[in-house]
Structure 1
Amino acid sequence: MFQYKEMEQKVSTTLSSMEGELKGTYYPLTGMDKATQQQLIDDHFLFKEGDRFLQAANACRYWPTGRGIFHNDAKTFLVWVNEEDHLRIISMQKGGDIKTVYNRLVTAVNTIESKLPFSHDDRFGFLTFCPTNLGTTMRASVHIQLPKLAKDRKVLENIAAKFNLQVRGTRGEHTESEGGVYDISNKRRLGLSEYKAVREMQDGIQEMIKMEKAAS
């Protein structure tokens, strides 16, 4: 329990010094009031206990101690603390301006790492709780409707796989699509650069959009 609290303290202190576009507020799960909790749920920011895979991996101990969420004022930059990985750093916004989203993420990561060095291995890259995130740890995703390609989920997944992409539900792993919207992201995170991972997602999505438009 002490390690969770220590980690939260270090991270929240670091995040409180964020400036400019990244300036925001940290919300600890412990003692969170109902209004704040509901707002974070409405914004699709709040993560929850109960994932059976995380429970099986013993990742939910002492819940909600040491867990929390940070977001900037514009709600385009988030950090999840001790949800699964020690840190999950998120940059997002509506629209297709991937360059702006990526640049914001790079700025944030560099700022955090200058004060909290990340665990890194020369062979495996950045070390994370989830083995599939080893390497860059970079998941670049878009929420998109592809109604023609998605008539058959299996067909959609097979098409995505050709571009090294993964199809998930709107709220990520082990969730379903909501309103015909899917989360599509890069599948590879090991053996390529962060920029390449993002570019792979962008190129694949563009090809899938072309296929959607060409479908009868």
Structure 2
Amino acid sequence: YTTFADLFDPIIEDYHGGFKKTDKHPPANWGDVSTFGNLDPTGEYVVSTRVRCGRSMEGYPFNPCLTEDQYKEMEQKVATTLSGLEGELKGTFFPLTGMGKEVQQKLIDDHFLFKEGDRFLQTANACRYWPSGRGIYHNDNKTFLVWCNEEDHLRIISMQMGGDLGEVYRRLVTAVNEIEKRVPFSHNDRLGFL
């Protein structure tokens, strides 16, 4: 974003409706998580709720530029980091390499696991060395997941049946904060998380 600022800055300004070179992304602030509640307490309308965010790990290039060794190194770092989570976030990391087809398809069918990249990711060179360096972590209740090296380095997901946005959002915020204590995220003072 610095080297190619002359190219990116006008695109960023146009896409974000006037975000100028001198503007800065606001500081990270999740807000008051207690203000979010259950959007459908009677369970009449909302089938499930999902909130997710993507993060890139500091010190690594974006997905299309990763080497196979970097994919593997990141997968190991993510697996080790997530194995230290406790409470409702405690779970298991499953590498895609060596995962049985039946297990993989079940996780995909249950909307827990990503598939190999679509044509856009393939064109962007983001599927190299597949499935090496990719994996999924989920907690015991399957309400908290982390995808490793799908499109982003990390895709952090909180979800559950029903409409309790408050519980889903609180879990996501807790998880992101816990992960960031262990693995620094790529951040730019002007642009925010990269």
> Structure 1-normalised TM-score?
0.57
What does residue 37 of structure 1 align with?
104
Aligned to 2:188, which of 91, 97, 121? 121
Paired positions, count = 127
For 2:145 and 2:97, locate their aligned partners in 1 and report how far apart those are by CA, in whole Å.
18
Which amino acid is 1:44 matched to?
Answer: H
Which amino acid is 1:71 matched to?
Answer: H
What does residue 150 of structure 2 align with?
83
Which amino acid is 1:31 matched to?
Answer: G
> Structure 2-normalised TM-score?
0.63
Which amino acid is 2:140 matched to?
Answer: D
Gaps in structure 1 of 5+ consecutive residues:
128-216
- CA shift, 1:97, in A, is 1.0
Identity %: 79
For 2:117 and 2:169, locate their aligned partners in 1 and report how far apart those are by CA, in whole Å.
31
For residues 128-180 of structure 1, the C-alpha deviation after alignment (integer angstroms, 9 at most, x for no partner) is: xxxxxxxxxxxxxxxxxxxxxxxxxxxxxxxxxxxxxxxxxxxxxxxxxxxxx
What does residue 129 of structure 2 align with?
62
Which amino acid is 1:26 matched to?
Answer: F
* Greater alpha carbon shift after TM alignment, 39-48 vs 16-25: 39-48
| 2:93 paired with 1:26 | yes
For 2:175 and 2:108, locate their aligned partners in 1 and report how far apart those are by CA, in whole Å.
23
Partner secondary structure for residue 125 of structure 2: coil
- CA shift, 1:47, in A, is 1.1
Higher relative contact order, structure no. (Cα contacts within 8 Å, ≥ 6 residues apart): 2
| 2:171 paired with 1:104 | yes
- CA shift, 1:50, in A, is 4.1
Partner secondary structure for residue 127 of structure 2: coil
| 2:72 paired with 1:9 | no
CA RMSD of aligned residues (A): 1.0
Gaps in structure 2 of 5+ consecutive residues:
1-67
CA contact 2:121–2:151 (8 Å) conserved in 1: yes
Which amino acid is 1:34 matched to?
Answer: K
